[in-house]
A and B are shown apart, each in its own frame.
Chain A
Amino acid sequence: MTDNQNNELSHEQIRQDIANLRRKKSSQMSLVWSRFRKNKLALAGFVIVSIVVFIAVFADFLTSYDPLETDPFNRLKAPSAEHWLGTDELGRDVLTRLFHGSRIALEIGVLIILFEGVIGIFLGVISGYFGGWIDAIIMRIVDILRSFPVIILAMAIAGIMGQGVWNVVIALGIVGWTTYTRMVRSKILTIKEADYVEAAYSIGESTASVIARYVLPNALPTAIIMICIMMPTALIASATLSFLGVGVQPPTPAWGAMIAAGRGYLLKAPWISTSAGLAIMITVLGFNFIGDGLRDALDPTTKRN
């Protein structure tokens, strides 16, 4: 191979090359984003979730009603120009409560995911990478916890610890991290066997470096996707708990609680339960679409059926 005339690389050339490298890294991100964008369902999911987030942030300004203000003279009114989704059994504007409920839903959802995710991913990496007795112990704990009926356990814990958002998070999180651990562990096990990991050791990388530079970056897509997929689970679990009257207490507007409250009026005033149920469903769908879209965008090589 013939060399360039100028064997010495000028400093300018080097700086240029390093700049190119940085640009390359960020173009990887935009490639993922463009793939994501092309997927219509994923885009729809993104729009849905964006709307829900917007509503959660600006709930105070979107309607003129107070979610807690009761109005005994306007109980169980059907949807109308003044109350777009009608009123509930205490005369509160359903739409306003729905909007504020999104705040609770997302807040709890995010907290659950952070709590479970941090514990679960960390233990998954340790378990998967080091194997041996660490793996055995962690997986046995996972097995034991997963054999508990989650909702009942959560009710018991919340019962002991009392009301409040954090207690819901802990109650669900105590078992919830196990899903993360399992998925991450299995991904780590696959990565561990990859040639490039062995290659890394063969050039002298330390264990810490191998985990940081070779294992984690390849497990990252899995972790990201997991978070999107676990959000619906978290939402539904917390809605279930509030439906059962655990954790978040009235008069705080939580979607699950709203469904429960509306139960007694299903024939007379179906809009109470229905709207809350639909809210949960749409939000969950949105996250599901994003999760699927992300998975396809991050790894387009897996064939779709």
Chain B
Amino acid sequence: MTDYKEKIIEIKNLKKHFETPQGSVRAVDDISFDIYRGETFGLVGESGCGKSTLIRTILRLLPPTSGEIWFNGRDIAPLHRKRDLKPLRKEMSLVFQNPHSSLNPRMTVYDTLARPFRIHGITKTKEETTIEIVKVLKTMGLQAEHMIRFPHELSGGQKQRIAVARALAVEPDVIFLDEPTSALDVSVQTKILKLLEATKEERQLTYFYISHDINLIRVVSDRIAVMYLGKIVEIGKTPLIFGEPQHPYTVGLFKSVPIPDPDRKIGEMSLQGEVPSPVNPPQGCNFNPRCPHAMDICRKEEPELKTTEDGRQIACHLYNR
């Protein structure tokens, strides 16, 4: 397992809160972690944990409430002018979850892929653009003739390849992938994942995957982070976290995953209860009401994310002594 050394993204105390009539939703609640150049970083969490909001805040599609986002040596958190943000769009891009809605139905594949090249001046003439588009289509295992198609004429897998091609077209350093295969059939998923791997090697990219599919994250990531109700509860190298999960939420979550083997059924230790409303998170550690090991301190004090001996980071009073 390669050890990635150079940090490309450093998140420090990032917060993103939404004000709603019911109260303040702390979608991203004081999160700090780093991403290294060349790695695949996987973030796993269930719906409502804030992972979608987190990557959109890092991408600066949303302005953070507070905190720092260091990217390629500068803090991009305070930027707000369109012209300051535009260069970022060339350095980081996003692949969306739903291939059926992330492509403009009124634009052909050509139009959709031409835009990133034209916006950032990567190509100057129509002919240059066409050449680049054909190149990126071929990278994605598609043919030049797909250029003239409209999204509704393509299958789910093909649409998602176009979405990835679009993300590649800007020639980014980092690609964020929001559940890139969850809307696809199993037989298509494998192809897309392998294609993404191959592309990452070729172009020396850094990937940030988010998913609720724990097995997916396990298979693609070098390091995994687990997110619950706006907070990161555990981070570490994949074999470590997966082989020996420690945080009670991580443990419960991993145990809830059904295994495609009829002899191995989900045991008793899976998670109980429901995720609390993000408008009204519990006091202290926000997992304490559902935690089988909750102690007094868990109800009063929020645990900090601390590094432990085996190299992982964990936010839990059981381990933060």
Tell me the A residues contacting B by CB distance below 8 Å.
1, 3, 9, 11, 14, 17-18, 20-21, 24-25, 28, 194-196, 198-207, 209, 213-214, 217-218, 220
Do A20 and B148 touch (CB < 8 A)?
yes
Is B110 at the interface (CB under 8 A from chain A)? yes
Do B86 and A199 touch (CB < 8 A)?
no
Are A214 and B104 also in contact (CB < 8 A) when A3-B138, A14-B127 are? yes
Do B127 and A199 touch (CB < 8 A)?
no
28 pairs of residues in contact across A and B, judged by CB atoms under 8 Å: A21-B110, A21-B147, A21-B148, A195-B102, A196-B105, A198-B61, A199-B94, A199-B163, A199-B166, A200-B115, A202-B61, A202-B93, A203-B115, A203-B119, A203-B167, A203-B169, A203-B170, A204-B120, A204-B170, A205-B115, A206-B82, A207-B82, A213-B104, A213-B107, A213-B111, A214-B104, A217-B104, A218-B106
Is B53 at the interface (CB under 8 A from chain A)? no
Complex CA–CA separation, A208 to B127 (angstroms): 25
Tell me the B residues contacting A by CB distance below 8 Å.
59, 61, 82, 86, 89-90, 93-94, 96-98, 101-108, 110-111, 115-116, 119-120, 126-127, 130-131, 134, 138, 141, 144-145, 147-150, 163, 166-167, 169-170
Complex CA–CA separation, A25 to B150 (angstroms): 9
Do A24 and B148 touch (CB < 8 A)?
yes
Q: Name which of A11, A17, A24, A205 has the most chain B CB atoms within 10 A of its CB.
A: A17
Complex CA–CA separation, A194 to B97 (angstroms): 12
Q: Which of B93, B103, B110, B131 contacts A9 (CB 8 A)?
A: B131
Chain A's closest residue to B148 (CB) is A24
Residues of chain B lying within 8 A (CB to CB) of residue A218: 104-106
B298 to nearest A CB, angstroms? 37
Are A17 and B147 also in contact (CB < 8 A) when A202-B94, A203-B89, A204-B116 are? yes
Q: Name which of B93, B106, B141, B149 has the most chain A CB atoms within 10 A of its CB.
A: B106
Do B108 and A203 touch (CB < 8 A)?
no
B60 to nearest A CB, angstroms? 10
Residues of chain A lying within 8 A (CB to CB) of residue B105: 196, 218
Do A11 and B138 touch (CB < 8 A)?
no
A179 to nearest B CB, angstroms? 24
Do B130 and A14 touch (CB < 8 A)?
yes
B62 to nearest A CB, angstroms? 10
Chain B's closest residue to A201 (CB) is B61
In the A-B complex, the 5 residue pairs with the smallest Cβ-Cβ separation, listed nearest first, are A204-B89, A217-B106, A195-B102, A195-B101, A24-B148
Chain B's closest residue to A202 (CB) is B94
Are A1 and B131 also in contact (CB < 8 A) when A21-B147, A203-B93, A218-B104 are? no
Q: State the main secondary structure of chain A at its contact with B.
A: helix
Do A18 and B61 touch (CB < 8 A)?
no
Chain B's closest residue to A203 (CB) is B116
Residues of chain B lying within 8 A (CB to CB) of residue A214: 104, 106-107
Complex CA–CA separation, A135 to B141 (angstroms): 45
Residues of chain B lying within 8 A (CB to CB) of residue A11: 127
Complex CA–CA separation, A11 to B86 (angstroms): 32
Complex CA–CA separation, A200 to B101 (angstroms): 12
Do A24 and B130 touch (CB < 8 A)?
no
Are A198 and B96 also in contact (CB < 8 A) when A11-B127, A204-B116, A213-B104 are? yes
Do B144 and A24 touch (CB < 8 A)?
no
Complex CA–CA separation, A17 to B104 (angstroms): 21
Do A204 and B119 touch (CB < 8 A)?
yes
Do A24 and B82 touch (CB < 8 A)?
no
Complex CA–CA separation, A1 to B198 (angstroms): 11
Q: Which of B102, B130, B144 contacts A196 (CB 8 A)?
A: B102
Do B107 and A17 touch (CB < 8 A)?
no
Q: Name which of A17, A202, A218 has the most chain B CB atoms within 10 A of its CB.
A: A202
Q: Which of B86, B130, B150 contacts A17 (CB 8 A)?
A: B130
Known: A14-B130, A205-B119, A209-B119. 17 other contacts (CB 8 A): A1-B138, A20-B147, A21-B110, A24-B108, A24-B149, A194-B101, A195-B96, A195-B98, A196-B101, A196-B104, A202-B89, A203-B116, A203-B169, A203-B170, A204-B90, A218-B104, A218-B105
Do B134 and A9 touch (CB < 8 A)?
yes
Chain B's closest residue to A11 (CB) is B127
Residues of chain B lying within 8 A (CB to CB) of residue A25: 108
Residues of chain A lying within 8 A (CB to CB) of residue B163: 199
Do B102 and A199 touch (CB < 8 A)?
yes
Chain A's closest residue to B103 (CB) is A196
Residues of chain B lying within 8 A (CB to CB) of residue A213: 104, 107, 111, 115
Chain B's closest residue to A25 (CB) is B108
Complex CA–CA separation, A204 to B59 (angstroms): 11
Complex CA–CA separation, A269 to B84 (angstroms): 76
